[in-house]
Amino acid sequence: MYGSNSGRGLRMTACAAATGAALLVAGCSSDGEDKGEKNPATSQQPKAIDPYWVNPDGNAAKQVETYTKDGDDKNAELIKKIASQPVGEWIGPDNPEEEARGFTEAAAKADRDALLVLYNVPHRDCGQFSKGGASDGNAYREWVDKVAKGIGDRRATVVLEPDALLHLVDGCTPQEFHEERFDLLKGAVERLKQQPATTVYLDAGNAGWQSPDALFEPLQRAGVDKADGFSVNVSNFFPTDLSQEFGKKLSAKVGNKPFVIDTSRNGNGPYTEGDPAENWCNPPGRALGEPPTTKTGDPLVKAYLWVKRPGESDGDCKGGPKAGDWYPEYALELARNAK
């Protein structure tokens, strides 16, 4: 079974964690759209097709700038395939309110929606490359409350806790933490939905779990009925058609809830030639998938999103840097292989 740990390698860098606060403090939120329009690598996409904000200060945009200054136009053009698309902004553990405010204000200034990812649940990632999370349940509740306050009444879509449910189902998270996690996820959904313009998708794993029967009850216990839907394939590589089929089967079990698909790196499907235990970690030969859009042609599939930030490492495997760090060689391969 591929990718049972769909979100490993999702830890964000300290630099990325500070970006939202930096946007706010430095005043970038006051000129977000203008800055994007002046930089061809980060112009906003047509709102009717893709309403999400393109961050002009993302790692890919900075890499384009570096290549351009070095006269490496070929590689600059390749990385523009990433820099020109909106990607998830992962809220860090230390300044959640400031980051959420910075990202959503910058997005609002550009008349776009912010795409945020919350990945801080206690006992995260079962001690693997992306281990960590809030110190306890109360710390997590306080963190989510600050994120919600930072979002305010601005438009935001939140992907909530990649892998958190899947790791309850696959036995990776110890049994003594299960009840608390269900309670924390349900509480997070309810708190975020108090914000008037916030859409919440609760993560529901990936198509590596061919039977949605193992996941629908955990989704219900985690409060999917109060969420706007669920997300699939976050940080994974399953083709969009398989993810769509999986999502529809799961949706039928949870009141026909809609869902979103992470297409950031699924252009060539999963890697099947290496050690199955590490096929998820910086696999070679992968490609960018469908560009982010809300025009999916299926009313149940609300959007294709780039939740995982293409070009950021899954972990220190296969020659990559630590999880969440920018990995330019891998970014170039993803862009070069894109269809």
Domain map (residue ranges) of the chain? 14-336
Q: Which of 125, 203, 228, 325 is catalytic?
A: 125
Q: Which of 50, 228, 262, 314 is catalytic?
A: 314
Cite the beta strand spans of the chain per DSSP E.
89-91, 114-118, 156-160, 198-203, 229-232, 259-262, 301-305
142: CB partners within 8 A, 6+ apart? none
- Give the residue carrying structure tokens 């509740």: 141
Q: Is 31 a catalytic residue?
A: no
Q: Is 125 a catalytic residue?
A: yes
- C-alpha span between 20 and 241 (Å, rounded): 34
Q: How many CB atoms lie under 10 A from the CB of residue 339?
A: 8
pLDDT digits (tens, 9 = 90+) for 167-208: 999 878 888 889 999 999 999 999 999 999 999 999 999 999
Q: Which of 163, 228, 262, 325 is catalytic?
A: 163
Q: Is 170 a catalytic residue?
A: no
pLDDT digits (tens, 9 = 90+) for 139-148: 999 999 999 9
41: CB partners within 8 A, 6+ apart? 60, 61, 64, 65, 76, 79, 80, 83, 84
pLDDT digits (tens, 9 = 90+) for 14-61: 344 445 555 543 333 333 333 334 555 678 999 999 999 999 999 999
pLDDT digits (tens, 9 = 90+) for 92-141: 999 999 999 999 999 999 999 999 999 999 988 675 666 679 999 999 99
- C-alpha span between 288 and 299 (Å, rounded): 23
Q: Give the tokens for residue 221.
A: 């216990």
Give the orientation angle of helix 73-83 with respect to helix 59-69, to 10 degrees: 160
- C-alpha span between 111 and 97 (Å, rounded): 21
pLDDT digits (tens, 9 = 90+) for 232-285: 999 999 999 999 999 999 999 999 999 999 999 999 999 999 888 788 999 999
The reported pTM is 0.90
**CATH C-level class of 14-336:** alpha beta
